[in-house]
Structure 1
Amino acid sequence: MRRVLCGILLRFRASSLDGAAEQAMLYAQGGASVISVLTEPARFKGSLDDMLDVALKVETLGTARRPAVLRKDFIFDTYQVLEARAYGADSLLLIVAILTLDELTTLLTVVAMSRPDSILLLALSGVFTREDALKFEECGAHGVLVGEMLMRCHNVKDMIQELKGVSSHTQGKTLVKTCGITDAETALVAAKHGANLIGIIFVPKSPRHVDLDTAADIVQVVRKFGERSSRVTIELDTFPSSSPSSMDTISTWFQSHAKKLTAASARTPLVVGVFQNQSVEYMNHVAETVGLDLIQLHGDEGFEVCRDLVVPAIRVVHLPGFHTGGSVNVEAIKENVQAGGTGAVFDWNVAASFDQAGIPCLMAGGLTPLNVARAVQVATPLGVDVSSGLEDGTPGVKNHMKVQQFIRNVVQPPLSSLDSVEEDNSCDDRK
């Protein structure tokens, strides 16, 4: 006997049909497992009578063949749950976006009173992050349905593990930041292929500098791809005091925020505005005007600046004298030696020392599609940041094929690129 792999749920708006019951019967005879009936009268012209007609009609098929009837409406009161059952519904839709946690829990509890223990409660929509899954679990759900978000994800295994709560940075999830993006088309290419962070530069002297109108276009394209209309909110804790009690305190703080950044950028890319020694007022103006999700401080600004910014900040640390190796004190490096986007090669072992000290970092410097897989294996950074390595010589003009290859080689590194890791820890393939 051939095993049925899935059930089919069909929905229709009764007001658009001459006979709701007759249409439902066609669906049922075609093998539908669930029939969803709109009962909201004001906006969708549905009615409870339509649902009752559907329920009575499909009941004639007998228990073995009868599909379940689902009430689709704005449910917010326990009376509506009892009402749905009285009019023949086997199940109903709860819209999480319009309910408080207490309201959702109450409605699920009412439903649970009449549900056999063998029937599992699943959340069928609105799951994008581990936090979403936990919210439903707290309300009594036994599982969650994840659909289109996984289809957009370029590392399905990592995303599934993260939703289950067993994924972490050490399991190989490496963030990708494509920086120096100067047009919306390139931003969309990066987003479609799995970039977590899209960097646009507001430093006037940079050849990759963009104006506010262009930046706004980039933000809108990224938001549309991520199916959102506003910036992503990341709740951050206050940075430890200027004299923290131990390195462990700093490490714990950075790791906590790294996890939040990873979770926030898992479903939709975040747009990062890059600034260098510019006023807080100007940075906040740009962030609010174009809709930045994050700010990257690329000059010699102090950490205290972050407290006055309207969005969270990434602080660049420029390392003096470490382009060819040597030890590094991860507690004391603040000096600026490079302005970025130069293609200068960074010693990957230095980034590895940060990882060993429990300080997650985004590694930049001389990365290209050809060497990034080896760099990630050597340094195991939180993420990689690339700009000139995606260009063919003209600053700001990205080669879309290189964008695709770079991201793919981070997410799914080719085995051939990992063969000589021990022999080559800082490959110079810059343009």
Structure 2
Amino acid sequence: MFLEQILARTRLDLTERQRLLPLERLRERAAAQPPARDFVAALQPEPGARGLRLIAEIKRASPSKGALAPDLDPVVLARTYEAAGAAAISVLTEPHFFLGAPEHLSAVKAAVGLPVLRKDFIVDEYQVYEARAWGADALLLICAALREEELRRLLTLTRQLGMEALVEVHSAAEAQMAVAAGARVIGVNSRDLVTFSMNPFLIRELRQLIPADRILVAESGIHTEADARRLRRYDVQAMLVGESLVKAGDVRGQISRLLRGANQAVQVKICGLRHSEALRAALESGADLLGLMFYPQSKRYLAPQQARQVLSASGYLALAEQGQAVPDLVGVFVNEESQRINELAAELGLHFVQLHGSETPEFCARIERPVIKAVPIRDQEARAEALRYAPVTWRVLLDTPSSGYGGSGQVHDWKLARSIAAELPVLLAGGLTPANVAEAIATVQPWGVDVSSGVESNGEKDPQKVRSFIEAVRQSSEQLPNLQVIGH
């Protein structure tokens, strides 16, 4: 197994370095370093903004992919990263599997003004002193390589030397271990360090285990604007990216695309899907969320068994089983019992629950999945109503009032919606179509948009309208200022 091989070689190399440079002399070198740069502050949003930061990595190779960019110049690349908007730089120092070196870290630290992270397999206090002696401002601690008491000891020493640690997890147990140890910066690595297989939704599964006061970093498998947009969906504070940067012919352009996806691109939810053809069109067009209606009085109602059939026939389930980054599933309910909602969410694998009835904030808190709560935009009271739900929901959906429950197909006061969107990450619904969604986004600047009847013909989803709607959203997102909104 890769991890065991790397750790065995790491310990062998460590023994030799300890022989060549005794710990006391290493401590002296560490103490002689200027104070470390603030890694935590670099990953936190600026005042008044909530943005996703980039930790850009200097990475020549990996065990799973082999040589990536074996001849890259660490200093030239680091300066490019800094100029393109990275918040911190990660430097591999492991020489055998990643072609890293301590000299890379020291040279990068001298060349840029950003915090620099030592990326390695750290299992001993000697390596913590090494990191500081080489100029590191932060270092990586991997839960899979450490026992809990070892993690605590190394984390304590790291902070005593003025550095901070990125504590990496790969499972629920490791996430709980990191939180219990007091980790301030927790990285969820979507790549299994034993098999090197990818789980693009691991961060979604672990998100609720990590307190809001910790900085959450997404690691591995971040290549496209869509990948970064998905991280924005899970309220991540930072992303660590290596492979897609070092292999990019245009590094600045790749960073720009990732930051646009993470901080600016508007999420798209296609709601009321009933047939596999329309769901497949939403999949192929790059929808972010797929809404399934479980309100029996709705004309778009899907019985649970029908939902499974539609998901299977569309290819959604097969793609998910293959580890593809498919859209999230949202179950829409109206005044349903909380126990029934939780049962259906577990049975059907729903990722989010949308409530469109008279559910109270207390009711929302009983739902085991993150909640989207619909709030009608009637008058100025809508702002107070949205803020009332914000503490117990994942997102608030702003919709047009109707005589019943669900969408009306009519637009509402977008200026009022804008005043709410300035305070909360909202989903905008109500009368959106391929023709007006660009104007709606420019006016409201929402976190996401939700459409149902606006992409229908004769009461059924129209695959061409679905494609046109998503294309219009993507084009309009590029015209927006950098919203830098990830959650609340």
TM-score by length of 1: 0.52
**In the alignment, which residue of structure 1 is the partner of 2:316?**
222
**In the alignment, which residue of structure 2 is the partner of 1:404?**
467
Alignment of 1:385 with 2:450, yes or no, is yes
Asked if the contact 1:219/1:290 (under 8 Å) is kept, the reply is: no
Alignment of 1:374 with 2:374, yes or no, is no
Give the aligned residue type for 1:184.
S
Asked if the contact 1:158/1:173 (under 8 Å) is kept, the reply is: no
Aligned partner of 1:304 among 353, 362, 379:
362
**In the alignment, which residue of structure 1 is the partner of 2:218?**
132
The residue correspondences of 1:55-94 to structure 2 (distance < 5 A) are 74-78=2-6, 80-81=8-9, 93=63
Residue 286 of structure 1 aligns to a residue whose secondary structure is helix
Structure 1 residues 299 and 188 mapped into 2: Cα distance closer, same or farther (>3 Å)? same
Asked if the contact 2:273/2:292 (under 8 Å) is kept, the reply is: yes
Residue 282 of structure 1 aligns to a residue whose secondary structure is helix
Q: Distance in 2 between matches of 1:302 and 1:114?
A: 54
Asked if the contact 2:427/2:446 (under 8 Å) is kept, the reply is: yes
Asked if the contact 1:84/1:92 (under 8 Å) is kept, the reply is: no
Q: Distance in 2 between matches of 1:92 and 1:191?
A: 31
Aligned partner of 2:342 among 284, 295, 305:
284
Deviation string, structure 1 residues 326-382 (Cα, Å, up to 9, x no partner): x455113689745223312222112111123x1221111111101100111011111
Q: Distance in 2 between matches of 1:301 and 1:349?
A: 26
Structure 1 residues 212 and 135 mapped into 2: Cα distance closer, same or farther (>3 Å)? closer
**In the alignment, which residue of structure 2 is the partner of 1:117?**
103
Give the aligned residue type for 1:217.
Q
Q: Distance in 2 between matches of 1:79 and 1:134?
A: 20
**In the alignment, which residue of structure 1 is the partner of 2:408?**
342
Asked if the contact 1:330/1:354 (under 8 Å) is kept, the reply is: yes
Q: Distance in 1 between matches of 2:446 and 2:97?
A: 46
**In the alignment, which residue of structure 1 is the partner of 2:176?**
none
Q: Distance in 1 between matches of 2:410 and 2:448?
A: 18
Asked if the contact 1:368/1:390 (under 8 Å) is kept, the reply is: yes
Asked if the contact 1:81/1:111 (under 8 Å) is kept, the reply is: no
Deviation string, structure 1 residues 242-281 (Cα, Å, up to 9, x no partner): xxxxxxxxxxxxxxxxxxxxxxxxx531100000001112
Asked if the contact 2:288/2:327 (under 8 Å) is kept, the reply is: yes
Structure 1 residues 91 and 303 mapped into 2: Cα distance closer, same or farther (>3 Å)? closer
The residue correspondences of 1:190-205 to structure 2 (distance < 5 A) are 190-205=282-297
Give the aligned residue type for 2:475.
Q
**In the alignment, which residue of structure 2 is the partner of 1:189?**
281
> Gaps (5+ residues) in structure 1?
1-72, 96-104, 231-266, 419-431
Structure 1 residues 375 and 92 mapped into 2: Cα distance closer, same or farther (>3 Å)? closer
Larger Rg: 1
Give the aligned residue type for 1:393.
N
Asked if the contact 1:219/1:271 (under 8 Å) is kept, the reply is: no
Q: Distance in 2 between matches of 1:225 and 1:158?
A: 28
Q: Distance in 1 between matches of 2:323 and 2:424?
A: 33
Structure 1 residues 114 and 292 mapped into 2: Cα distance closer, same or farther (>3 Å)? closer
Q: Distance in 1 between matches of 2:240 and 2:401?
A: 51
Aligned-residue offset at 1:162: 6.0
Structure 1 residues 398 and 158 mapped into 2: Cα distance closer, same or farther (>3 Å)? farther
Give the aligned residue type for 1:342.
S
Give the aligned residue type for 1:76.
E
Q: Distance in 2 between matches of 1:311 and 1:228?
A: 23
Q: Distance in 1 between matches of 2:335 and 2:271?
A: 18
Give the aligned residue type for 2:291.
G
The structure in which a higher percent of residues are strand is: 2
Deviation string, structure 1 residues 162-204 (Cα, Å, up to 9, x no partner): 68xxx42xxx321111000002332121122121110000000
Deviation string, structure 1 residues 197-236 (Cα, Å, up to 9, x no partner): 1000000010000111221234454354356669xxxxxx
Aligned-residue offset at 1:117: 2.6
**In the alignment, which residue of structure 2 is the partner of 1:330?**
383
TM-score by length of 2: 0.47
Structure 1 residues 110 and 376 mapped into 2: Cα distance closer, same or farther (>3 Å)? same
Asked if the contact 2:354/2:371 (under 8 Å) is kept, the reply is: yes
Asked if the contact 1:177/1:199 (under 8 Å) is kept, the reply is: yes
Alignment of 1:179 with 2:271, yes or no, is yes
Give the aligned residue type for 1:384.
V
Aligned-residue offset at 1:81: 3.3
Structure 1 residues 156 and 370 mapped into 2: Cα distance closer, same or farther (>3 Å)? farther
Structure 1 residues 407 and 156 mapped into 2: Cα distance closer, same or farther (>3 Å)? farther
Aligned partner of 2:259 among 153, 158, 161:
161
Asked if the contact 2:409/2:432 (under 8 Å) is kept, the reply is: yes
Structure 1 residues 290 and 79 mapped into 2: Cα distance closer, same or farther (>3 Å)? closer
Structure 1 residues 285 and 94 mapped into 2: Cα distance closer, same or farther (>3 Å)? same
Structure 1 residues 403 and 76 mapped into 2: Cα distance closer, same or farther (>3 Å)? same
Give the aligned residue type for 2:436.
N
Indicate the RMSD between aligned Cα atoms, in angstroms.
4.6
Residue 406 of structure 2 aligns to a residue whose secondary structure is coil
Asked if the contact 2:93/2:102 (under 8 Å) is kept, the reply is: no
Q: Distance in 2 between matches of 1:343 and 1:299?
A: 17
Give the aligned residue type for 2:421.
D
Aligned-residue offset at 1:285: 1.8
Asked if the contact 1:328/1:353 (under 8 Å) is kept, the reply is: no
Asked if the contact 1:127/1:133 (under 8 Å) is kept, the reply is: no
Q: Distance in 2 between matches of 1:190 and 1:135?
A: 22
Give the aligned residue type for 1:281.
Q
Alignment of 1:207 with 2:299, yes or no, is yes
Identity of aligned residues (%): 28
Aligned-residue offset at 1:107: 10
